[in-house]
């Protein structure tokens, strides 16, 4: 039964969530009703799993199942993808490096915003910069490799 559960999760992530998250850095919306619509798709999958394995998950809520299966909610997945995209941009793997302004502080501090974008406040670049600034006390975008950075972000969102 555990094997079937893992297969269901893999199929959901590969066939459903991959379509929902394709180019999410570009079209990521802050509008609550759109976020709720996308999150409802994942919650429906988790509710189906709960129904399918009702003997195993009798009193488990959808959020507990999400945690148990290691599936992040939409807000946390978007934060992760924004920061990873921004990290790629800083290393030249993405093509908008010339739109990022880096502020060099006069003193050592993690309290200031290091990044800013020349684009409008709702642009993907600005949102990604804000995400990195939000996590700047927990991650080091300049020295952490991709895997370490991703693990630190996941640890941060799971500890919230």
Which residues have CB under 8 Å from 39's CB, separation 6+?
73, 74
State the Cα–Cα distance between residues 137 and 68, nearest whole angstrom.
Answer: 27
Provide the residue ranges of all domains of the chain, joining segments of one domain with +.
2-71, 77-159
The pLDDT score that the predictor gives to residue 44 is 92
The pLDDT score that the predictor gives to residue 40 is 92
Bridge partners for 101 per DSSP = 116
Q: 3-state class of 123 per DSSP?
A: coil
State the Cα–Cα distance between residues 127 and 69, nearest whole angstrom.
Answer: 28
What is the chain's mean pLDDT, rounded? 79
The pTM for the full model equals 0.75
């Amino acid at each position: 039964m555990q094997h079937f559960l893992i297969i269901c999760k893999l199929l959901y992530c590969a066939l459903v969530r991959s379509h929902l998250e394709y180019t999410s850095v570009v079209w990521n919306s802050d509008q609550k009703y759109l976020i709720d619509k996308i999150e409802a798709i994942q919650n429906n999958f988790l509710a189906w799993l709960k129904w399918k394995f009702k003997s195993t998950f009798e009193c488990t809520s959808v959020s507990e199942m999400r945690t148990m299966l290691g599936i992040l909610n939409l807000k946390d997945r978007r934060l992760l993808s924004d920061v990873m995209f921004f990290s790629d941009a800083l290393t030249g793997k993405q093509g908008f490096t010339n739109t990022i302004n880096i502020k060099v502080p006069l003193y050592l501090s993690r309290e200031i915003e290091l990044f800013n974008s020349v684009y409008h406040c709702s642009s993907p670049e600005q949102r990604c910069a804000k995400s990195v600034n939000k996590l700047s006390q927990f991650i080091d975008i300049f020295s952490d490799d991709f895997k370490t950075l991703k693990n630190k972000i996941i640890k941060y969102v799971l500890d919230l």
